[in-house]
Amino acid sequence: MKQAQKDYDHLQQLSRHSRILTGIGHLLDWDQETYMPDGASGIRSIQMETLAGIIHEEKTGKKFVNALSKLIDIPKGSLKTKELSGEQVAALKEWRRDYLKEKALPKKFVEEFARLTSQSILAWRSAKKENAFQRFAPFLDKLVSMARKKADFLGFKEHPYDALLDQYEHDITTHEIAALFSSLRKNVVDLLKKISKKKQINDDFLHGSFSRDKQLEFSHRILKDMGYSLNFGRLDISAHPFSSASHPTDSRITTRFHPTSLVSCISVIMHEAGHALYEMGLPQEHYGSPLGDSISLGMHESQSRWWETRIGQSKAFWKHYLPHLKKQFPGPIEKASLESFYKAINKVEPSFIRVEADEVTYSLHVILRFEMEKALIEGTLSIRDVPEMWNAKMQELLGITPKDNTEGCLQDIHWSMGAFGYFPSYTLGNLYASHFFEKFAKDHPDWEQRVSSGDLLFINEWLHHAVHIHGRRYTSKELLKKVTGKEFSANAFINYLNSKYEDVYNLK
Amino acid sequence: MKQAQKDYDHLQQLSRHSRILTGIGHLLDWDQETYMPDGASGIRSIQMETLAGIIHEEKTGKKFVNALSKLIDIPKGSLKTKELSGEQVAALKEWRRDYLKEKALPKKFVEEFARLTSQSILAWRSAKKENAFQRFAPFLDKLVSMARKKADFLGFKEHPYDALLDQYEHDITTHEIAALFSSLRKNVVDLLKKISKKKQINDDFLHGSFSRDKQLEFSHRILKDMGYSLNFGRLDISAHPFSSASHPTDSRITTRFHPTSLVSCISVIMHEAGHALYEMGLPQEHYGSPLGDSISLGMHESQSRWWETRIGQSKAFWKHYLPHLKKQFPGPIEKASLESFYKAINKVEPSFIRVEADEVTYSLHVILRFEMEKALIEGTLSIRDVPEMWNAKMQELLGITPKDNTEGCLQDIHWSMGAFGYFPSYTLGNLYASHFFEKFAKDHPDWEQRVSSGDLLFINEWLHHAVHIHGRRYTSKELLKKVTGKEFSANAFINYLNSKYEDVYNLK
């Protein structure tokens, strides 16, 4: 074996060790949200902190630096060998990038940030509960200034928000996001205006009282059809649904039950299974190397939103499943036609929070957050103006105004966690999914027919070969280009929304 | 703060770090037996191995050795300071002992032993399945010779089996066990002969078909009464019941359901909760130090057997619970009197395996194993004679002969795991429990009356102050003496058995 190959194997082995510990951390997280007794929360934080400490040491320690330095010049980024394959070279670059990021934040800063966010989460909870923005404001102020400092530590070329974005989505700038979101914003706002002039869709038959066990049974049926194997995963209940993988052979999901909404649980499990199938599909031989890891939060979201919206809210899907649904849940739904059911589950209605948003208004919540975060980081928006700006943007984008700050700028946990730069991933996921979907539909012109007959496995197969098996060989944009042959843009998603909702709302 | 105190705190902090990782390992074990998808077993072994590697390095690494050496001379065992408290001194001695044991086995030997046991477990499974002792024999041969080597590495004064015993129960020798077991053996065999002459007890009403949910409900009621808090624990289902604690605030138990035996599940949960209450009762401020750890397997078993047999099979306990049991499980049991129920659950009947044994014959299984293990390690029993010797001893001790080796010397997993020296702990637990119980009954002369009225909390309170809070401050024998004022012997257990079964079988 050549020396470079030996060095590469050694590097992967070291990296695998900390990856295994990261996987153990995911399991502890999973347990915390599912089965952990409440009284164990104190020791659980200590366990997580202990693992995180070891992982950070391993990822920045001498052993790792020496192993990486043998193959790549860390400061310059230039390769020291020509004997490695293209994918190995790609892996080295990602390893270097991860290392630089891991090293960039001083330990003292990380600890200070962790302390601030844990206090901020508590402050946010109480502020939200009592609609008292002024109680959260001083924390938000500190969080923004810490995030700004973080950007300096991480480094950026154009805009400090670039560095924050880069934590979740590599290789995309604030400038690019702004351009994507600007075309999207215009189009969606126009579409929403057209829809609002139409008669509202009746979806009464989707609401009622639905047995938990039957919902679970139906969920399991869909999971199986999607190719989600219970040999390598499981479905549990938690307050907030999530997917958590410690390894491709152990990729678990959770759901919550909506006692009065029939489709909510199905949407959730298809979404989470989309994430889980991505993790299950990562190449095990590269476990521990960037080639065995998912690309980004946005790419992950492309998989979950693909299953949730592109498949789970399609007419083809319900052509097959609606009769089964009617059998499982006898009641008002039995009288619904496929057409009226399809329209009902795709009903568009502005609401106050992303997690309850339909496909059309979803992006508007993300755009609002992006615009505000950008202004906060730039320093052009002061903390005390946040509630007013929030409400103004809600009115401008969605045509509704929150009744108070609890429903408005205090609605979710992201800011209190210091997660600035996170939100755009949600919409990037939708854009990526549509970009891929055009190619998928070309490769499988009969996809609707196959889905109508209950065949879903070929979809996962396609995603597996297009996305999963590459790990982090490519950036999101590179992969989108490689798979589809087209440069990434928001067009595919915009076209999809327009054409689908012209149909749903008879806009033509 | 004095320097010695600072050094002690530093040592505890280091030790706490690896204790936290050990706790994480316990959680992974728990998950493996309860919720882990089957296909994840490969990565799970790797996760466990990775944690074990880090823990071993921390426990034998320079940092730890330096910290320990500041306070105690490791080779000689002499203290280097006079400024520490009595319990701190006891902790230092235990830390040193743990370190010497951890260091004693060469890494190569540990790996070889692990490989051999994992192969042996597979060989044993297939040999047991097909009643083919000759297939397991070569593995047993290697296991015995590796165990003999292990004893040499660990070191011993009188008998190589001392070193093996010491892995599970410190401060007790083969010679002492032989003496304890010899008096026990004679007494139990005599008792069993007397019982066998009596008319057998009818326990038909204990058998039938019992709902899993109702068994679970009843189990939860008893757990609550015992003081087992679901805030710091939980009850799940697994193939083999166990208890697993990662911390006093996270101490979980499992049970299995016996579809046709009413009392089996209750026995199991009381046994496992006994283990769990011990872990919950350990002093949290000493977590990571020997003062925050349980003494030994035998002491652990004293807690589980206490609850399972001394309480859960007492007349006082069922005076309170039998009416509830009858209400929960209407059927033949409704006609049983307290007296006939009590006799039925304490029915004595020789059987082939410890896990199904009643209180009288239980020790005979342990004695058989001890005598055979001792002979194997001494080299006075050859592998090919094992089946014959097993059967002869079964006949001699229990008056029954296994129909084949599957029911005989291949019955359980212990030998294939290389766990020679483990079995005596099971009986030591019973002896310890009875030794403590005499003092408990003196401290609470009204215990039967209180238990009859459904009060169990004072029992856990007593065990907590007698046993739990001391961690490893004392050895088992020291603690027994300290609590009861009496030297440890088998007398208390023998007296208890004789007096209880004279009553159950009207032997007088």
Q: What is the ipTM of this complex?
A: 0.94
A-contacting residues of B 244-273, CB under 8 Å? 246-247, 249-250, 252
Model pLDDT, residue B243: 97
Model pLDDT, residue B337: 97
Q: Which residues of B touch A54 (CB under 8 A)?
A: 54
A-contacting residues of B 337-366, CB under 8 Å? none
All residues at 6 or more sequence positions from B163 whose CB lies less than 8 Å from its CB, including other chains: B150, B151, B152, B154, B155, B156, B421
Q: In whole angstroms, what is the distance from residue B224 CA to residue B234 CA?
A: 11
Model pLDDT, residue B262: 84
Query: Is A23 within 8 Å of B43 when comparing Cβ atoms?
Result: yes
Closest CA to B274 of B425, B468, B129, B1: B468
Q: What is the pLDDT of residues B344-355, one digit of tens each?
A: 999 999 999 998
Q: In whole angstroms, what is the distance from residue B251 CA to residue B253 CA?
A: 7
Query: Is B232 within 8 Å of A46 when comparing Cβ atoms?
Result: no
- Kindly state whether B36 is in contact with chain A, defined as any CB-CB distance less than 8 angstroms: yes
Pairing of strands A250-255, B235-237: unpaired
- Kindly state whether A38 is in contact with chain B, defined as any CB-CB distance less than 8 angstroms: yes
Strand residue runs (E) in B20-124: none
Q: Which residue of B27, B31, B231 is in closest CB contact with A39?
A: B231
- Kindly state whether B233 is in contact with chain A, defined as any CB-CB distance less than 8 angstroms: yes
Q: In whole angstroms, what is the distance from residue B146 CA to residue B152 CA?
A: 10
- Kindly state whether A285 is in contact with chain B, defined as any CB-CB distance less than 8 angstroms: no
Model pLDDT, residue A239: 86
Q: In whole angstroms, what is the distance from residue B161 CA to residue B174 CA?
A: 6
A235-237, strands of its sheet edge to edge: A235-237, A250-255, A243-247
Query: Is A250 within 8 Å of B27 when comparing Cβ atoms?
Result: no
Closest CA to B291 of B42, B61, B503, B19: B19
Nearest 5°: the CA angle A435, A466, A284 is 140
Find the catalytic residue in A272, A359, A373, A407: A272
- Tell me, yes or no, if A301 is annotated catalytic: no
Query: Is A229 within 8 Å of B39 when comparing Cβ atoms?
Result: yes
Closest CA to A61 of A99, A117, A9, A92: A99
Best of B16, B28, B29, B43 to disrupt the A interface by mutation (most A CBs within 10 Å)? Answer: B43
Model pLDDT, residue A107: 87
B-contacting residues of A 386-425, CB under 8 Å? none
Q: Which residues of A touch B229 (CB under 8 A)?
A: 39
Closest CA to B143 of B486, B383, B475: B383
Closest CA to B407 of B356, B367, B349, B360: B356
Residue A174: C-alpha distances to residues A74, A166, A494, B190 (Å): 26, 10, 20, 87
* Over residues B73-88, mean pLDDT: 96
> How far is the alpha carbon of B274 from chain A, nearest alpha carbon, in Å?
18
Q: In whole angstroms, what is the distance from residue B123 CA to residue B129 CA?
A: 10
Q: Locate the chain B residue with the closest alpha carbon to A20.
A: B47
Q: Which residue of A20, A38, A40 is in closest CB contact with B247?
A: A40
Q: Which residues of A touch B21 (CB under 8 A)?
A: 50
Pairing of strands A250-255, A243-247: antiparallel
Query: Is A37 within 8 Å of B233 when comparing Cβ atoms?
Result: yes
Model pLDDT, residue B259: 77
Q: In whole angstroms, what is the distance from residue A227 CA to residue A222 CA?
A: 9
> How far is the alpha carbon of B256 from chain A, nearest alpha carbon, in Å?
18
Closest CA to B426 of B362, B503, B470, B337: B362
- Kindly state whether B229 is in contact with chain A, defined as any CB-CB distance less than 8 angstroms: yes
Model pLDDT, residue A183: 94
- Which pTM was predicted? 0.94
The neighbour count for residue B173, using CB atoms within 10 Å, is 16
Query: Is A231 within 8 Å of B39 when comparing Cβ atoms?
Result: yes
Q: In whole angstroms, what is the distance from residue B2 CA to residue B310 CA?
A: 47
Tell me the H-state helices in B197-296: 212-226, 264-281
Residue entry with tokens 């006075």: B380
Q: Locate the chain A residue with the closest alpha carbon to B21.
A: A47
Q: What is the pLDDT of residues B234-272, one digit of tens each?
A: 999 998 899 999 999 999 999 988 878 889 899 999 999
What is the Cβ-side half-sphere exposure of residue A379, based on CA atoms within 13 angstroms? 6
Query: Is B229 within 8 Å of A39 when comparing Cβ atoms?
Result: yes
Q: In whole angstroms, what is the distance from residue B484 CA to residue B463 CA?
A: 12
Query: Is B39 within 8 Å of A246 when comparing Cβ atoms?
Result: no
- Kindly state whether A32 is in contact with chain B, defined as any CB-CB distance less than 8 angstroms: no
The neighbour count for residue B358, using CB atoms within 10 Å, is 17
Along chain A (508 residues), what's the average pLDDT of each consecutive run of 10 residues? 93 97 96 95 92 94 98 96 95 97 92 90 94 97 97 96 96 96 96 95 92 93 98 94 97 90 92 98 97 98 98 98 95 95 96 94 97 97 97 96 96 94 97 98 98 98 98 98 97 97 94
> How far is the alpha carbon of A292 from chain B, nearest alpha carbon, in Å?
14
Model pLDDT, residue B460: 98
All residues at 6 or more sequence positions from B341 whose CB lies less than 8 Å from its CB, including other chains: B205, B318, B322, B333
Q: How confident is the model at residue B508 (pLDDT cuts 50, 70, 90)?
A: confident
Find the catalytic residue in B87, B272, B301, B407: B272
Q: Which residues of B touch A44 (CB under 8 A)?
A: 250
What are the φ/ψ torsions at residue A193 (nearest 5 degrees)? Answer: -65, -45
Judge contact between A254 and A33, C-beta under 8 A.
Answer: yes
* Over residues B4-13, mean pLDDT: 97
Model pLDDT, residue A334: 94
Q: In whole angstroms, what is the distance from residue A259 CA to residue A207 CA?
A: 9
Q: Which residue of A21, A36, A252 is in closest CB contact with B50?
A: A21
Q: Locate the chain B residue with the closest alpha carbon to A38.
A: B231
Q: In whole angstroms, what is the distance from residue A102 CA to residue B496 CA?
A: 64
Judge contact between A117 and A416, C-beta under 8 A.
Answer: yes
Q: In whole angstroms, what is the distance from residue A379 CA to residue A374 CA?
A: 8
Best of A13, A32, A247 to disrupt the B interface by mutation (most B CBs within 10 Å)? Answer: A247
**Count of CB contacts below 8 A, A vs B?**
91
Query: Is A234 within 8 Å of B20 when comparing Cβ atoms?
Result: no
